[in-house]
Amino acid sequence: MAKYTPMIQQYLSVKAQYKDAFLFFRLGDFYEMFFEDAIKASQELEITLTGRDGGTEERIPMCGVPYHSAESYINQLIEKGYKVAICEQVEDPKAAKGVVRREVVQLITPGTVMQGKVIDEKANNYIASINDFQDGSYGFAYIDLTTGEGNITMIVGDWLDAVGEIYSVGAKEVVVSSTFSEEKLREFKQRMNITVSIEDDSAIPESLAETSKGLEQTKLKETLGRLLQYLIKTQKRSLEHLQPVQYYETNQYMKLDIHSKRNLELVETIRAKGRKGSFLWLLDSTVTAMGARRLKQWIERPLLSKTEIENRLNLVEQFLNNFMIRKELREALKLVYDLERLSGRVAFGNVNARDLIQLKRSLEQVPIILGLVEQLGNEYANQLVRDIDRCESLFHLIDASIQENPPLSIKDGGIIKDGYNEKLDAYRDAVLNGKQWIAQLEMREKEITGIKSLKIGYNRVFGYYIEVTKSNIHLLPEGRYERKQTLANAERYITPELKEKEALILEAEEKMVDLEYDLFVNIREEVKQYIPQLQHLAKFISEIDCLQSFAEISEEYHYTKPEFSEDRSMIIKEGRHPVVEKVLQSNVFVANDCHLNSEREILLITGPNMSGKSTYMRQIALIAIMAQIGCFVPAEKAVLPIFDQIFTRIGAADDLVSGQSTFMVEMLEAKNALTKATQNSLILLDEIGRGTSTYDGMALAQAIIEYIHDEIGAKTLFSTHYHELVQLEHSLARVVNVHVSAMEEKGKVVFLHKVKEGPADKSYGIHVAELAELPETLIKRAKEILDKLENNQTENKNIHTTVYEENAQLSFFNIETEPKEQNSKTTQVTKNAEEVLKKLQSLDLLEMTPLDAMNVLYKLQKRLKSKV
């Protein structure tokens, strides 16, 4: 380092402590970056890369951004998953002996950013920590620094369960120990695009001991401690707004794995990855940012407690039946700002006077909101209201102290009201009267000298002065004025009297601004004392906002209050897919029933492509989720069991990141459902087995249905194009065939989208190809081939179809159809086929997992292809 200049040495010394972050190094009015940081930042931010001398022959790469516009550049880097260390000058350059002392005052990361466009007001910005205890358990804690709320749990299970929990909260950053598995870290970075940070200290900091209140387990404290230590070291400021973390158990809520959340498009669409068109988009008629965030949390964690669900449903019903109260409530909520994030900014010390005025205006609406909720006469609502502190003293503090329209800056004065502080009033009076005195002096001097153009002015360098044009200098009385400054066409003067008054005015102005700043800081400190009450108030308002939102959309789209069965039966009459129905914006959506009970637990759904099988399956899941978050549902009637988990295998795509094929993704998702589902779960499986050969796929599909039927007993919707599977209705007691109907009209297919009992008679695949406008010659050729195949199948059904007999397995071959004249090669193939048939007959598929079945089938197929 000795070869570099002292300033570059200082930069390198600081950078060594923040190797994984861009170092914004303050030099005057700019934040500068050097070396690799400069090269990379110039590319990411599209700014000019320059260079400077640093004590070596080669110029050092350098780029920079103005400090007053740095926030936008920082936000760009944070959005891309980078970290930014802010290194400020911490001593006056004039007083510095040598290089000005600089220190990192804050490390901004995707999980700790507090403001700017990076923060979505309708979503939490979580930073998490996870501990792998190597015994099948994982400690998991997450905190939203912008609101102060935090949660913690122990996950007992495999690594996918832990990944699912992290995915469900949408954490932007995860803190782990330096010994954490590299393979698991790659899962975060590549598949989930999460920033990973390292922290080895896991002791709960004394200053934040209150956040661990109620935690007894050492594992939980260690997990939380790691996260808190990281926050303290990176933020280097007060974290008083952090609330005691809430312990929860994952089995308190309906479990929705990564695949189900994605397939059901709960918070974002699969294709556009956006909010519009998602389930969240449909339900969000909230008025406040707090309510929107709470709604997202509820959707990701549906309730299992019938009492809690019905408390919400009953309050939604009250809102629905009281239109005027709901309307007035929405108007009041529109005037409530984001109390949670205002509290966070107060604690962080970056709140300004305008923020406090927003806080005051929000508190002004609290009595109105509470009064409207009490009018509903709902016991659950009254219980919520009883616990609320209205923060009236805080309202009066802000009302008495802060101007209604204060400036944005807190250091330029004009913030504090008259009458709040006597000393400030005295300074203001001195300034006001002083300026009046100067105006009177100007009039008097004009009369004495007879110079009408004479004026008294002020600038920061020379202070107050009397300015006279050179053409009028001869009119000035002898010895009255003292020359202060000469201009091209005028002279500026001062008098002893003006000099004395100037000192009084300037002193008062300077002290007034300083005093206002001190008073504001004191007020801000007083506001800090109310943070717990404000956070509790915010939770109440967010919950009320969510429930009125449910009432709003339930009225608009004619939803029904669901009921819950005790015998696990499901009766949905005229159910609709809520998102599709909204997108269509008309009454063309075809409603469908769904009946499941102890005698019919698996619906085997057949029907052509595009007929609506997947939509039907998704709508059943969404209706269940809506009911369990406390919302009315899109149906004429809905009687539902309370599901503990929902598993979906709908749609498929290659997983290019991990190198997994469509079929492997399909099998892994199916495995997740088959190994974790219980009798109280809902399973949706769409065309399982289509990613492999027909016979493999058909065998797997049947084995999966049998396994669910015999081993799990979960309510299941299973759609398929393997029409041979419809025979399972005769061999499995609780399997029922239904189909989505279609009809031919003038040679064209018409989709009726109506679910009816019984199997489908045709697949209409070529008709769908016609709708897609494939070339006419291609369609004609496809029909010819289909006719031949169907004729061959009629002549020898046993070759192409699966024979179902009592206690029989799939039969793919009929050896008797082989010609008698065979060469030795054909004879060997026949023997192989006979061995395969014997092996198939000896298998007990009910005792095999789907993956075991697939492996056996692979070996048998290999045996058939063998030429030896």
- When pLDDT is averaged across residues 347-357 and rounded to a whole number, the result is 90
Task: Tell me what pLDDT residue 816 has.
Answer: 41
8 A C-beta contact, residue 544 and residue 346: no
Domain co-membership, 317 together with 178:
no
Task: Tell me what pLDDT residue 764 has.
Answer: 62
Domain co-membership, 150 together with 230:
yes
Domain co-membership, 672 together with 766:
yes
pLDDT at 147 over 60: yes
Query: Which residue range forms the structural domain that includes residue 626?
Result: 563-773
Task: Tell me what pLDDT residue 366 has.
Answer: 96
- When pLDDT is averaged across residues 276-293 and rounded to a whole number, the result is 95
Q: Which is more confidently placed, 442 or 842? A: 442
Q: Which two tokens stand for residue 347?
A: 């604690």
Was 608 annotated as part of a binding site? yes
| Domain C-terminal end among 712, 746, 773 | 773
- pLDDT range class, residue 849, cuts 50, 70, 90: low
Lateral strand order in the sheet of 637-640: 563-564, 637-640, 570-575, 592-596
Measuring CA to CA, which residue among 246, 169, 250 is closest to residue 215?
246
How open is the CA angle 395-397-400, to the nearest 5 degrees? 105
**DSSP per-residue codes, 253-318:** B-EE-HHHHHHTTSSS-TTT-SSTTSHHHHH---SSHHHHHHHHHHHHS-B--HHHHHHHHHHHHH
**Residue 145's CB: how many other CB atoms inside 10 A?**
26
473 domain-assigned: yes
- When pLDDT is averaged across residues 77-93 and rounded to a whole number, the result is 92
Q: How far apart are CA 334 and CA 362, in angstroms?
A: 9
**Residue 608's CB: how many other CB atoms inside 10 A?**
21
8 A C-beta contact, residue 636 and residue 559: no
Q: What is the DSSP letter of 409?
A: -
Angle between the 496-528 and 392-401 helix axes, to the nearest 10 degrees? 170
**DSSP per-residue codes, 596-665:** EBTTB-EEEEE--TTSSHHHHHHHHHHHHHHHHHT--BSSSEEEE---SEEEEE-S---BTTTTB-HHHH
Residues 6+ apart with CB under 8 A from 396: none
8 A C-beta contact, residue 404 and residue 357: yes
Q: How far apart are CA 59 and CA 52, in angstroms?
A: 5
Poorest-pLDDT segment among 220-234, 520-534, 839-853: 839-853
Q: What are the CA-CA distances from residue 216 to residues 156, 677, 831 (Å)?
A: 17, 31, 67
780 domain-assigned: no
CATH of the domain at 616: 3.40.50.300
Domain co-membership, 610 together with 734:
yes
Was 592 annotated as part of a binding site? no
Q: Which is more confidently placed, 753 or 84? A: 84
Task: Tell me what pLDDT residue 766 has.
Answer: 67
Task: Tell me what pLDDT residue 808 has.
Answer: 38
8 A C-beta contact, residue 200 and residue 220: no
Whether this prediction's pTM lies above 0.75 is answered by: yes
pLDDT at 817 over 50: no
Burial of 578 (C-beta count, 10 Å sphere; 0-12/13-18/19+) = buried
List, for residues 93-114, the tens digit of each pLDDT value: 878 788 899 999 999 999 999 8
Measuring CA to CA, which residue among 270, 267, 291, 377 is closest to residue 339?
291
Q: How far apart are CA 3 and CA 202, in angstroms?
A: 39
Was 614 annotated as part of a binding site? yes
Residues 6+ apart with CB under 8 A from 44: 76, 77, 80, 82
How many alpha carbons fall within 13 Å on the CB side of residue 248?
A: 17
- When pLDDT is averaged across residues 627-645 and rounded to a whole number, the result is 97
708 domain-assigned: yes
399 domain-assigned: no
Poorest-pLDDT segment among 119-133, 464-478, 700-714, 760-774: 760-774
CATH of the domain at 33: 3.40.1170.10
- pLDDT range class, residue 851, cuts 50, 70, 90: low
Q: Which two tokens stand for residue 305?
A: 């407690």
278 domain-assigned: no
- pLDDT range class, residue 801, cuts 50, 70, 90: very low
Residue showing tokens 């039946």: 321
Was 66 annotated as part of a binding site? no
Amino acid 794 reads: T
How open is the CA angle 114-118-120, to the nearest 5 degrees? 90
In the chain, the number of structural domains is 6
pLDDT at 179 over 50: yes
Residues 6+ apart with CB under 8 A from 790: none
How many residues make up the chain in this entry?
868
pLDDT at 43 over 60: yes
Q: What is the three-class DSSP state of 233?
A: helix
- pLDDT range class, residue 744, cuts 50, 70, 90: low
Rounded to the nearest angstrom, the gap between the alpha carbon of residue 768 and the centroid of all alpha carbons in its chain is: 38
272 domain-assigned: no
**DSSP per-residue codes, 736-799:** EEEEEEEEEETTEEEEEEEEEES--S---HHHHHHHTT--HHHHHHHHHHHHHHHHHHHH-HHH
Question: What share of the chain in percent tops pLDDT 90?
Answer: 56
- pLDDT range class, residue 748, cuts 50, 70, 90: low
pLDDT at 864 over 80: no
Was 612 annotated as part of a binding site? yes
How open is the CA angle 159-164-170, to the nearest 5 degrees? 130
Domain co-membership, 729 together with 600:
yes
Poorest-pLDDT segment among 523-527, 586-590, 602-606: 586-590
Q: How far apart are CA 653 and CA 762, in angstroms?
A: 26
Domain co-membership, 637 together with 735:
yes
- When pLDDT is averaged across residues 490-509 and rounded to a whole number, the result is 85
Task: Tell me what pLDDT residue 2 has.
Answer: 58
Task: Tell me what pLDDT residue 257 has.
Answer: 85
- When pLDDT is averaged across residues 450-463 and rounded to a whole number, the result is 87
Domain co-membership, 499 together with 547:
no
Mean pLDDT of the chain: 86
Q: How far apart are CA 706 and CA 683, in angstroms?
A: 14
- pLDDT range class, residue 692, cuts 50, 70, 90: low
pLDDT at 709 over 50: yes
pLDDT at 803 over 90: no
Q: How far apart are CA 670 and CA 648, in angstroms?
A: 8
| Domain C-terminal end among 750, 773, 796 | 773
Task: Tell me what pLDDT residue 814 has.
Answer: 41
pLDDT at 373 over 60: yes
CATH of the domain at 175: 3.30.420.110
How many alpha carbons fall within 13 Å on the CB side of residue 92?
A: 2
Q: How far apart are CA 10 and CA 119, in angstroms?
A: 33
Task: Tell me what pLDDT residue 659 has.
Answer: 43
Q: What is the DSSP letter of 110?
A: T
Q: How far apart are CA 667 and CA 142, in angstroms?
A: 31
| Domain C-terminal end among 79, 108, 137 | 108
- When pLDDT is averaged across residues 253-279 and rounded to a whole number, the result is 89
Was 667 annotated as part of a binding site? no
Domain co-membership, 384 together with 450:
no
Domain co-membership, 303 together with 346:
yes
Lateral strand order in the sheet of 715-719: 255-256, 645-649, 682-686, 715-719, 602-606, 735-745, 748-757
Domain co-membership, 242 together with 361:
no
Domain co-membership, 725 together with 579:
yes
Question: What share of the chain in percent tops pLDDT 70?
Answer: 88
- When pLDDT is averaged across residues 673-696 and rounded to a whole number, the result is 85
Was 407 annotated as part of a binding site? no
- When pLDDT is averaged across residues 162-187 and rounded to a whole number, the result is 88
Q: Distance between terminal CA atoms of the chain?
A: 72
786 domain-assigned: no
Was 611 annotated as part of a binding site? yes
**Residue 760's CB: how many other CB atoms inside 10 A?**
23
Q: Which is more confidently placed, 805 or 105? A: 105
Domain co-membership, 375 together with 448:
no
Q: Which two tokens stand for residue 579?
A: 């998102």
Residues 6+ apart with CB under 8 A from 117: 72, 75, 79
450 domain-assigned: yes
Task: Tell me what pLDDT residue 850 has.
Answer: 66
